[in-house]
Amino acid sequence: MVSMKTKLIALLSVGIVPCFAGCVSNPIALAPVGPDLISRAVPGTDGYLKVFTATQTVDVDFEAYFNPHLGYEIDDQAGKCVKYVANHASAMDETPDTVSLPPGNYKIVAESTWCGLVTMPVAIQRGQTTTIHLDGRWWHPSHSANAGQLVYLPNGEAVGWSSLASNSSP
């Protein structure tokens, strides 16, 4: 039986690894991502961020495997860390966290499934949710008229909507 201390150390290790990876690699820079074109605004003064980072398979119990999303860092425009997001509540939580942020421009440093560590500028708008897909599982509207308003990784994978597109929509 695994002790609670061992589980805590394992969870902390999963959260700390992306921080160390940021120190030793050259992140890929991408175009800014903003809210999608069809999301509804919700009341309040903040905006929201949801990042589907790469996942890590965790053996929680004998042959009980889960794939929580890896943590990531939110930086201000100057590169100062605003917040570290663990991106899961437990080793069994496979849903990424939704983070509340004041409207503005930020950068995230997160692990992508196919391209490694990426640095991505994001626009947070009041009452809107900016969603970023780095886990390789997003089915974007590739054949729609709005496909040109997507942001892509160097391998051609779409990760979200351009913040320029969301600023120009009604």
Average pLDDT estimate for 14-26: 44
pTM above 0.85, yes or no: no
Domain hosting residue 50, numbered range:
4-168
Q: Report the domain count for the chain.
A: 1
Structure tokens that stand for 125 in this block: 């708008």
Give the phi and the psi of residue 163 in degrees, each rounded to 5. -65, -25
Where is mean pLDDT largest: 14-28, 87-101, 133-147?
Answer: 87-101
CA-to-CA separations, 114 to 46, 47, 95, in angstroms, rounded: 31, 28, 19
Task: Summarize pLDDT for 22-58 with one digit per residue, the tens.
Answer: 333 455 656 899 998 777 788 889 999 999 999 999 8
For the chain, the farthest-separated pair of C-alpha atoms sits apart, in whole angstroms, at: 56
pLDDT of residue 122: 97
Q: How far apart are CA 86 and CA 11, in angstroms?
A: 9
- 60 versus 121: which is more confidently predicted? 121
pLDDT of residue 17: 46
- 148 versus 52: which is more confidently predicted? 52
Q: Residue 146 above 90 pLDDT?
A: no
pLDDT of residue 7: 47
**How is the chain split among helix, strand and coil, in percent rounded to 5?**
20, 35, 45
Task: Summarize pLDDT for 52-109 with one digit per residue, the tens.
Answer: 999 999 887 778 889 999 999 999 999 999 999 999 988 888 999 999 999 999 999 9
CA-based nearest residue to 111, from 66, 160, 70, 152: 70
pLDDT of residue 93: 84
Beta-strand ranges (E) seen in 1-115 are 28-29, 33-34, 47-52, 58-61, 64-66, 72-75, 81-85, 98-101, 104-112
pLDDT of residue 24: 37
With contact defined as beta carbons under 8 Å apart, do 49 and 129 qualify? yes
